[in-house]
Chains A and B, each alone.
Chain A
Amino acid sequence: MTLDTFVQLSAILTGYPEKKLKPKNDTQKVSEAYFAVLNKEVDAQTIAQLNSTFTSIQNPDEASVKTQIVDDPTLGPIAKNITKMWYLAIWYSLDPTSTDPNATYVVSSITYKNGLAWSTMYAHPMGYSEENFGYWETPPNTK
């Protein structure tokens, strides 16, 4: 699986466009960080299966990805983990019986502040805001 394919799949899983997940001038390199985590945590055979399944879908959309990937017993947990990683910057252990405290972890501080959960909620992580001081004086613009 290439990084571009990973981003294409991620766009459908998250609902955010590819250009948001991997901007042209990418200062944060979040997609690269998540792609590296995927390759570290998931075996090559499963990633190859995920890649072949996704690339075999003509004009992939939410419905086809749900049917062929999210609902698949092998690929589904991976797809859900990718989605959660984009939103929360956390890689969740794929083994529910694991007692390893490090099996679930925040990918990095950079990816954490870029979690899609924040922008989706018009919020920001605690202790990190890019707004000017006093921004809370005016209501959020949710148009």
Chain B
Amino acid sequence: MNYRATAYLVGLFLVGGIITTNCKPQKTQSEESPPPEASETDAEAPVLLTENTDGAKPSVTLSSDLPFDVTITGTKLETSIRRDFDRFSWESFVALNWDPNSADPIGTNGDNATVWETWKNAMDVFLPDGKKPSPWGTPGMIPKSCKTTDKKVLAQVGKTPDLLNEMEQPFKTGPLIDQNGEYTRFEILMNQEMFDYIDKNGLYSFEGQQKFNAPAVFPEGSDSAKEWGAIMVKASWKILGDNDDPSRFHTVEAIVYTPAQDDPKIAESCFTAKVGLVGLHIGTKTKICPQWIWSTFEQVDNAPSFDNIHREGTFNYYNASSKYPWNEAPARPWDPNIENQTPTQVVRLTSIFDGTEALNKEYQAKLREVNPNSVWQYYELVGTQWPVNPRQLPLGNPFPEFLANSTLETYVQGIVKDDKVELVPNVSSSCMHCHNGATMISNGRASDFTFLLERAQ
């Protein structure tokens, strides 16, 4: 009798008397999943391990080479393997923020244009009436009401386009208001590999998805093939005010656009402003990690951590003298056009892992070597989430279990109860757990860890 059969008998004996309902949904395997026995075997396979010894810490370097996949050099999950993934995150961050028009190292001149900002914005891919998007390299569209024609458009006022209609949100999301009383703005962009897959398969439209009628499988980055896979980035920006120090941010002059809304009534508005980057998610699909690698960065002045709440300094999203509750969405109506709104009081509930913090210091020092005034030294990796057992489909056993960016998952970081942080599966922020539920809008088919395909019209 194998262990599952034995366990089944033990389980029946125990559960029969305790669980009174027997109508729980049966667990089934998705079309892509291996049978349970195989996945459990794989769960033990050292998929992400190599023979290299722990403790070896190759020095960090700054390079414009965007990694195709993660390179594993260690064997211990919470130290060396984690460091390998954090290195992947930093290598990606550096390469994506390298000036695409210059051979000089990142930050040589303090701030610079970036690679990822040349990518395709989601709002230029999923168009009204399912219209085919313009080819790669075509400048993004500017709303008609905006007169300026050559500046970035930050059209989202929340993490999802219909932010002001909270009832339709999967989580308790809401606008994030900085210490100047201004709404934080968001955008999502994708690399050419991801765009090409969407474009080639017609996944930009409702009708195209119906014809496709299969789970989406985006290309994987591979070291052996020297190919990049799908990469998507989500950025959060704050409008810089008189109290902000622009030398501590990557900044751009942007068109800040608010689409008109009917319920509640919000007027269309459009203005230009200098905005500073405060958060950056990087999602990378690779051969080793088909569940994607999830990296998230923040500007270092965003918010204090729960376990270091009395840290001195001024923050983008925290004021020690404020009585406003932590990590609570603002009162309605959610209208970015209202002036001087009450700032959101943000606290990071899960501290940055010590090893990640150490790697942050190494990279920040390296960036200062290039230029003591580099804006990039003011960014830190909050964490990297990856599948520990990637062949255990579909989710792959994410690690760490929870990960949140305080500017992008502000209100789902977790809760504080009896002066302790409580994190709950499927409730507190976890990149992979959440994105695993993403589907296409037209047919309910899995969309391979991206919610973007729900935007097709």
- Which residues of A are at the interface with B, using a C-beta cutoff of 8 A? 13-17, 19-20, 23-28, 62, 83-84, 87-88, 109-110, 113, 116-124, 126-143
Contact = CB atoms under 8 A, between A and B. Distances in A.
B274 to A, nearest CB: 41
B445 interface: yes
B331 interface: no
Interface of B: 3-4, 6-12, 14-15, 18-19, 24-33, 35-37, 40, 43-44, 46, 48, 77, 81, 215, 388-389, 394-395, 397-401, 422-426, 433, 436-439, 444-446
Contacts of A128: 425-426
Nearest to A138: B28
For the complex of A and B, the 10 pairs showing the least CB-CB separation, nearest first, are: A15-B6, A120-B11, A15-B7, A122-B27, A130-B395, A132-B446, A140-B28, A27-B399, A141-B29, A123-B24
22 contacts: A16-B3, A20-B3, A23-B44, A27-B388, A28-B401, A84-B14, A116-B11, A121-B11, A122-B27, A127-B426, A129-B27, A130-B394, A130-B395, A131-B28, A132-B394, A132-B436, A133-B438, A135-B30, A136-B25, A136-B28, A137-B28, A143-B37
Contact of A117 (B19, B35, B36, B399): B19
Contacts of A140: 26-29
A81 B16 CA distance: 15
Nearest to A131: B30
Contacts of B46: 24-25
* Interface of A (DSSP majority class): loop
Given A109-B424, A110-B425, A141 B14 contact: no
A134 B30 CA distance: 8
Contacts of B24: 121, 123-124, 126
B15 A87 contact: yes
Contact of A133 (B426, B433, B446): B446
Given A138-B29, A138-B30, 14 more contacts: A13-B10, A14-B7, A16-B7, A17-B3, A25-B46, A25-B81, A84-B14, A110-B401, A121-B15, A124-B24, A131-B29, A140-B26, A141-B28, A143-B37
Contacts of A25: 46, 48, 77, 81, 388-389, 399
Contacts of A129: 27
Given A17-B3, A131-B28, A88 B425 contact: no
A87 B35 contact: no
Nearest to B45: A24
A88 B29 contact: no
B425 A113 contact: yes
Given A88-B15, A110-B425, A135 B7 contact: no
Given A15-B6, A27-B401, A121-B15, A131 B439 contact: no
Contacts of B11: 87, 116-117, 120-121
Nearest to A113: B425
B77 A27 contact: yes
Nearest to B446: A132
Contacts of A119: 27, 36
Nearest to B44: A19
A15 to B, nearest CB: 3
B30 A120 contact: no
Contacts of A121: 11, 15, 24, 26-27
A142 B394 CA distance: 17
A104 to B, nearest CB: 11
